[in-house]
Amino acid sequence: MQKSFTTGLIYRNPSSHVSSKHAYFPSVVLMDNGEMLASFAIGEAFEAVNLNTYIAHSKDMGETWSDPEPLLVRQPNNLLSNCSRITAFPNGNVIAIVVQSHRENHPEEGLANPENLGFVPTDLLLVRSGDFGYSWSLPEIIDPPLIGPSFELCSPIVPLRDGRWLWPTSTWRGWDGYSPNGMKMVALVSSDAGKTWPEYTDVMNGNADHIIYWEGKIIELSNNILIAVAWAYNEIQGKDLPNQYTISHDGGKSWLVQQSTNIQGQTMAIAALHDGRLLSVYRRIDKPGLWVTVSRLDNDAWINEDEFPLWGSQETSLVHKSDSMVQDFNELKFGAPSITLLPDNSVYVAFWCYEKMVSNIRWFKIVV
C-alpha cells in the first residue's frame, strides 16, 4: 500500500476558550448523491450527561464539513445521553441506530459502574431520513430479542445482499450486575427494514472463559460470507487479548470459532478494499497511536501483510493502562475509527482524538 495521507477536521469546537464542547464517536457514510454524511456526539466530556448526537454534511468528498445540527431534540435538563452510527441506503435513505443512556439514577457517575463494570440502562432507537440526512423521523423504539440488559453502540446497521439487516452489538450487564445472558457479541436481525428485530445470533461468546468481546464489527465479503472482528478482554486477568475474528458461511446464522488476528488493538474498524484485501484501523495497545493494518484471508486464515501508524505514534502516554477498565474508559484520548471507501479507491478514516486539550473529529484520506 502506498502510504500517502491527507488530513483535516470534521468538527472542532470553534470557541473552546468560551465553552466546553468535545466531540466523540464519528460515523461517516458516502451517499448516492455524492455527498458524505457524518454523525458524532458532542458534550462537555467523554461520558457527559449532555452528550448528544449531531449530523454534518460534506459536498467535497469529506474535505470540508457543514456546521453540525442535532439529530435528536433534547429536552431541557434531560438526563439522557445518546450516540449513533449511520448507514446509507439507495435513493437518499439513511438510517441512524441510536443508543440512549439513562443517567437519572447516577447523574454524577460515568456510563459504567466501577465496582462491577455494569452499565446504565439503555434504549435502542432507530431514526430515518429520506432526504440524504437533511431531515429525520421521530425515533422508533427497538424491542431487542434478548435481555442485555444494556447494549453497546459499536457498529452501524449492516445491510446484507439478501435484504436482511444486522446490527452488531454486545450485551452489557446492568448497573447492579444483572447479566442473564452474560457479556457477548451478538447481531440483532431484521427482515423488514428495521421495523422489528425478532432474531439474534451469537457471534462471539466468551462467557465460559470470562472473555468480553467489545466494539464488534461485521462486513459482508460476498453473498452469505461474513467476517466479524472484535476487541477481546479477559476480565479475570484484566488483560486485553489480540483482536479476534470469526467467519460465517451462511449469512450470519452460524459462526466459526473465533481466532486471533495477531493485532494488538481496541475499537477496530474493518473494510474490504477494492482488491479483496482487508483494511483495519484501531487504537493500538502495545504501541502508541491509531494504526492501520492491511490483511488478507487465505482459506479463512487471517494473514497480516502491512501495518503503519496514522496518528499519535510518538505519544507514549497513549498506551497508559491502569488496573481498572472503567478508569481506562474514563481516561481515553482517541479511538472509535470509522472507515468509508471513496470512488477513487482511497480510504476515508474518521476518529475522535484530543488535540490541544479539545476532543475533535479528525479525518485521514489514505491513497491505495
- Condensed to tens digits (0 to 9), the pLDDT of residues 284-336 reads 999 999 999 999 999 999 999 999 999 998 875 555 555 554 455 445 689 99
Q: Quick check: helix, strand or coil at residue 357?
A: coil
- For residues 255-265, b (16+ Cβ closer than 10 Å) or e, as one string? beebeebebbb
Question: What is the pLDDT averaged over residues 165-173?
Answer: 98
pLDDT for 367 equals: 84
CA separation for the pair 61, 35 (Å, rounded): 7
pLDDT for 317 equals: 56
Question: What is the pLDDT averaged over residues 203-212?
Answer: 97
3-state helix, strand, coil in the chain (%, to 5): 5, 50, 45
Question: What is the pLDDT averaged over residues 15-20?
Answer: 93
Q: Which long-range contacts (CB under 8 A, 24 or more apart) does 344-349 make?
A: 345/273, 345/274, 347/271, 347/273, 347/279, 348/28, 348/30, 348/36, 348/61, 348/62, 349/269, 349/281, 349/292, 349/310
For 183, the grid coordinates are 457479556
For 36-82, how does the pLDDT look when each residue is reduced to its tens digit (9 = 90+)?
999 999 999 999 999 999 999 999 999 999 999 999 988 878 899 99
Position 2 pLDDT exceeds 60:
no
- Whether 365 and 38 have beta carbons less than 8 Å apart is answered as no
Question: What is the pLDDT averaged over residues 246-263?
Answer: 97
pLDDT for 3 equals: 67
CA separation for the pair 88, 253 (Å, rounded): 24
Question: What is the pLDDT averaged over residues 144-170?
Answer: 97
Question: What is the pLDDT averaged over residues 21-32?
Answer: 98
CA separation for the pair 211, 319 (Å, rounded): 21
Longest dimension (CA), the chain: 56
Pick the CATH number of 4-367 from 2.60.40.420, 2.120.10.10, 3.40.50.720, 3.40.50.300: 2.120.10.10
Q: Are strands 94-102 and 122-129 parallel, antiparallel or unpaired?
A: antiparallel
Q: What burial class does residue 79 get, using C-beta atoms within 10 Å of its C-beta: 0-12 exposed, 13-18 middle, 19+ buried? A: middle
Question: What is the pLDDT averaged over residues 179-200?
Answer: 98
Residue with cell string 495521507: 5
DSSP alpha helices (H): ranges in the chain?
325-330
Sign, CA dihedral 317-319-324-328, equals positive
Position 198 pLDDT exceeds 80:
yes
Position 193 pLDDT exceeds 60:
yes
The mean pLDDT value of the chain amounts to 93
- Alpha carbon dihedral 117, 120, 121, 123, in 10-degree steps, equals -110
Instruction: Compute the C-alpha angle 314/316/321, nearest 5°.
Output: 145
pLDDT for 320 equals: 52
For 226, the grid coordinates are 461474513
Q: What burial class does residue 184 get, using C-beta atoms within 10 Å of its C-beta: 0-12 exposed, 13-18 middle, 19+ buried? A: buried
